[in-house]
Structure 1
C-alpha cells in the first residue's frame, strides 16, 4: 500500500486505521511525506507498527513525485494507491486482490463524501460513465489514483515516471501504461469513501481548465512516453 502525505493531520488517522485493519503481518504501508509542516508525521510515527514504513521527502516536490517516492520503496507483488484523507471499505483489499487474479490493473468504484462524511455521490463509475479502454483514457480519463491497484509488472514498467510532472500526473501515467500494455478491469463496487474538501492536494479528475493546445500537447507527450517504454514491457 503506497500513500503520499502532505499536511494531512485532520484525516490521516482515520485513513490509516481503515487500511491497517485489512493488512496481514507480511504486508506494508509505505508512506512518503512531502515535508509536512503540521502533525502528520507525528501521527504516523505514533502507531509503532512495523508494517508502516515512512520516508520523508527532503523537500516539497509535489504530489506526483511524492507518490513516485512511495512507489519506488514498495516491495510487494500487488500495489495499492492511497490518498491521506479517504476511508477504505472493510473489504477493499480482499475484493481487489480477487479482481487482480484475472488482470494486471484494476480501478474500483467509490462513494464521494465531503469533509463531514456526508455523501455527495454513491457511484463515480455511474456518474462519469467510466469504462476501460486505451482510447477512452486518451480522450478523457475519470480514473482516480486512490481507487487503483496493480501488479508489480505494471509498476516496473511505469518507473521511473516521465520527467514532466505537469504534463503527466502519477495516476494518469500508471493508467496509461496499464491500458496500453496490460489487462485492465473495473470493480463495479465502491471500495473507498473518497473525500473531497477544501484542502485536497489533487483535483480528483476535475477539469483544470487547460487550453486546447495544452490538452493536445499533454496527450502527445503521453504517447511519446508510452512509446519510449515499449522495449522494457514484460
Structure 2
C-alpha cells in the first residue's frame, strides 16, 4: 500500500501558469491525497483560480489566504506545517510535474525507508512550455558518477553547493522536526536548508530521472540553473564542482570550498542541535581545502603564488 501524500503549494500572482501546474498534480498516475495552498496576497486572478479548483475537488483542496505577505520561505513553512499526510511534496506555482512523478517518488520511499528527503532532475521549459536543451546543476550527479564510481550526492550538497530545487523536493512528515521553523535568514532559502540538513543526517537522495518541468521566464537569463549545451558549459560545470584538476578547475574549487565553509559557519549558528555533525563537516571541508591547495601548488607552483596573494587580500582563506 502506498504512503499517503500532501502537496504544499505556494502562490503569489501566479495566474498565468498556475492551472497547468495544478492540472499536472491532479493528473498523476498515482493520485495525491491532499493539496494545501497558501496564497501570499495575490492581486491577480490567482485566488479565483484556486477557488474554482476547490469547488471541483472540495475533499482535496485547502486554500489559505495570508493576512500579510510572508514571502516565499515563510509561506512554504506555513504550507508545509499545515500538511497532514505521511509524505509532503513541495510545489511552485509555475512548473509542471511529469505524470508519474508521485509514483516514482513513492516507490523510492517505499523501497528505501532510511531516506527522508528526495529531490530529482528536471527539464527546463520556456514561457511557452517548450523544452530547453541545456545542461543544468541537476546533471552534476550523473556527470560525477561517470567520472568517479565513489561519488556521493551528499558530498556535493555538504561540500560544494545546493543542487536541490524546491520544485523537486519531497520529504517524510516525520523529518519536519529537523528543519521547522525555517531560519529567518534572508540569504538562506528553504530548499537549501532542507537539503543541507537531510544530507548532514545522511537522509537525502537525488533521483537522476527528470520528473518535473522547471520554467525559465523571459526576464530570466540562462546561466543560473541551466547552461547552454556545449563543451564550454560542460567544462564550466566540471570545474565548478571540482571534477577537473587543471589550474582553473582547482582554483575555482578551492574558492568554492571557502564559500561553503563559511556557509557552514552560518548553518552552525542556525542549527545548534546538529553542532557536532556540522563541525565534523567543516573539518572535512578544511582537510579537503588543504589537500586541493597542496595539489595546486605542486602542479602549478608559480601561478598558485599569485592566486593565494589574491585570496589573502580577499580574506578567502580558511582560518580557524
Partner of 1:66: 75
From the CA coordinates, give the structure whose radius of gyration is larger.
2
- The corresponding residue for 1:56 is 65
Return the alpha-carbon distance in structure 2 between the equivalents of residues 18 and 143 of structure 1.
21
- Pairing 1:29–2:35 present: yes
Partner Cα separation in structure 1 for residue 213 and residue 269 of structure 2: 34
Q: Is the 8 A contact 1:88 1:192 kept in 2?
A: yes
When normalised by structure 2's length, the TM-score is 0.63
Do the aligned residues in 2 keep the contact of 1:115 with 1:196 (CA within 8 Å)? yes
Cα 1:205/1:67, change in 2 over 3 Å: farther
User: C-alpha separation between the residues in 2 aligned to 1:21 and 1:225?
Assistant: 39
Structure having the larger proportion of residues in helix: 2
Aligned to 1:97: 106
Using the TM superposition, name which of 40-49 and 213-222 deviates more.
Answer: 213-222
- Maintained 8 Å contact 1:110/1:122: no
The answer to whether the aligner puts 1:154 opposite 2:154 as a matched pair is no
Alignment of 1:183-202 (within 5 A): 183-198=203-218
Aligned to 2:139: 126
- Unaligned segments of structure 1, at least 5 residues: 207-211
- Pair 1:87–1:153, CA change in 2 (3 A): same
C-alpha RMSD over aligned residues: 2.7
Structure 2 equivalent of residue 83 of structure 1? 92
- In structure 2, the residue matched to 1:142 is 163
Tell me: higher relative CO, structure 1 or 2? Use CA pairs within 8 A at least 6 residues apart: 1
Q: Name the CA shift for 1:194/1:45 in 2 (closer, same or farther; >3 Å).
A: same
TM-score by length of 1: 0.84
Gaps spanning 5+ residues in structure 2: where?
1-6, 145-151, 227-255, 277-320
